């Protein structure tokens, strides 16, 4: 194979994940996508409702960006969010993902203006909100950095993350009962798993909000980040994401799968799955490198292979 043909073959094989997940009108060219990676494409991609950036090596940051609507979640925003997350998941240079909003609102809920006139046949036949669950198919760890309001769909989005860091200003709530409906994006299921049945019943049946401290005390949030300076929770989330990104991606993704299984299977099946994933790591170069580095008292050089 000639050098030119080899370079073209290498580009096609490495760029394939982008091209396969892309849909019109988005187009990529040799100028916008590197043959080696597409981190620059992820960071420079222009969206209407989100901002995609890479503040640290190995970290993808997705910022919800509908300030006039307090980041209310509509179908257009979720389509862009799903696309950006798929890009980050396919990029070998990215090890962890952060999702955040603004200081005032992570997301103040699903967009009521989009929903209020829909009929049963419309939402049922068109599988309304079903695309929200695509976030749960992302294999890389997702950290939600929550400031301000995370209500309704915003709370449900935060609950979909693998790790939730809450600013001391965060206010959570599932107030759907106040407008004549119920949670539709997984709130009842994930909230009950996070805080228990009785508390989930109280919160969803009254529609009351709860604080960042309550979320942390109940186990819903990993911890509270005091907002001594604006953006503290995002900086902490990026720092945490960078630490995770420094590990073996194969081990991190397997560990995420193992923890998720604890919520989806019984103990016996969960233990079997964990063991199989543990055994799987012994087929990786990263396991050999990690254990050798430990024995030799040096820092490991993971290749994610």
Q: Catalytic residue among 109, 148, 152, 153, which? A: 153
Q: Catalytic residue among 80, 83, 93, 156, which? A: 156
Strands 105-107 and 50-53: unpaired
Active site residue 266: no
Tell me the chain's radius of gyration from C-alpha atoms: 21
- Cα-Cα-Cα-Cα torsion 152, 157, 160, 165, nearest 10 degrees, comes to -100
Calculate mean pLDDT across residues 162-182.
96
The strand pairing partners of 99, in sequence order, are 62, 144
Work out the pLDDT band at 126, boundaries 50, 70, 90: confident
Is the per-residue pLDDT at 2 higher than 70?
Answer: no
Q: Catalytic residue among 80, 83, 93, 176, which? A: 176
Is the per-residue pLDDT at 10 higher than 60?
Answer: no
Other CB atoms within a 10 A radius of the CB of residue 280 amount to 13
Q: Catalytic residue among 52, 90, 105, 110, which? A: 110
Distance between CA atoms of residues 159 and 247, nearest Å: 24
Q: What phi, psi does 38 have (nearest 5°)? A: -125, 30
Other CB atoms within a 10 A radius of the CB of residue 140 amount to 22
What are 252-262's pLDDT values in tens digits? 999 999 999 99
Calculate mean pLDDT across residues 274-283.
95
Calculate mean pLDDT across residues 44-73.
93
Active site residue 289: no
pLDDT, position 285: 95
Active site residue 176: yes
Which of 255, 246, 225 has the alpha carbon at shortest distance from 59? 246
Under 8 Å between Cβ of 56 and 241: yes
Active site residue 93: no
Query: Which letter does DSSP use for residue 26 in this model?
Result: -
pLDDT, position 263: 87
Return the higher-pLDDT residue of 146 and 34. Answer: 146
pLDDT, position 283: 96
Calculate mean pLDDT across residues 56-65.
96
């Amino acid at each position: 194979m000639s050098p030119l043909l080899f370079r073209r073959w290498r580009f096609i094989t490495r760029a394939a994940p982008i091209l396969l997940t892309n849909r019109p009108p988005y187009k990529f060219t040799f100028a916008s996508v590197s043959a080696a990676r597409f981190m620059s494409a992820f960071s420079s991609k222009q969206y209407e409702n989100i901002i995609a950036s890479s503040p640290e090596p190995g970290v993808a940051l997705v910022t919800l960006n509908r300030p006039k609507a307090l980041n209310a979640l509509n179908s257009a925003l979720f389509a862009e969010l799903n696309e950006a997350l798929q890009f980050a998941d396919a990029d070998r240079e990215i090890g962890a993902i952060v999702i955040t909003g603004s200081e005032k609102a992570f997301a103040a809920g699903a967009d009521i203006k989009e929903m209020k006139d829909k009929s049963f046949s419309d939402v049922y036949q068109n599988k309304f909100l079903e695309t929200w669950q695509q976030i749960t198919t992302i294999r890389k760890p997702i950290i939600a950095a929550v400031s301000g309001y995370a209500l309704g769909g915003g709370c449900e989005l935060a609950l979909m993350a693998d790790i939730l860091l809450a600013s001391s200003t965060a206010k959570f709530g599932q107030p759907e009962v106040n407008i004549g409906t119920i949670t539709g994006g997984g709130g009842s299921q994930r909230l009950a798993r996070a805080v228990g049945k009785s508390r989930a019943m109280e919160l969803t049946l009254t529609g009351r909000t709860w604080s960042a401290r309550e979320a942390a005390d109940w186990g819903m949030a990993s911890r509270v980040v005091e907002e001594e300076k604006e953006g503290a929770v995002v900086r902490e989330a990026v720092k945490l994401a960078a630490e995770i990104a420094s590990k073996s991606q194969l081990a991190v993704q397997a560990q995420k799968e193992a923890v998720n299984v604890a919520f989806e299977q019984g103990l016996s099946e969960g233990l079997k799955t964990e063991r199989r994933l543990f055994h799987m790591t012994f087929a990786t170069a990263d396991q050999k490198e990690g254990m050798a580095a430990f024995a030799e008292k040096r820092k490991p050089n993971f290749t994610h292979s």
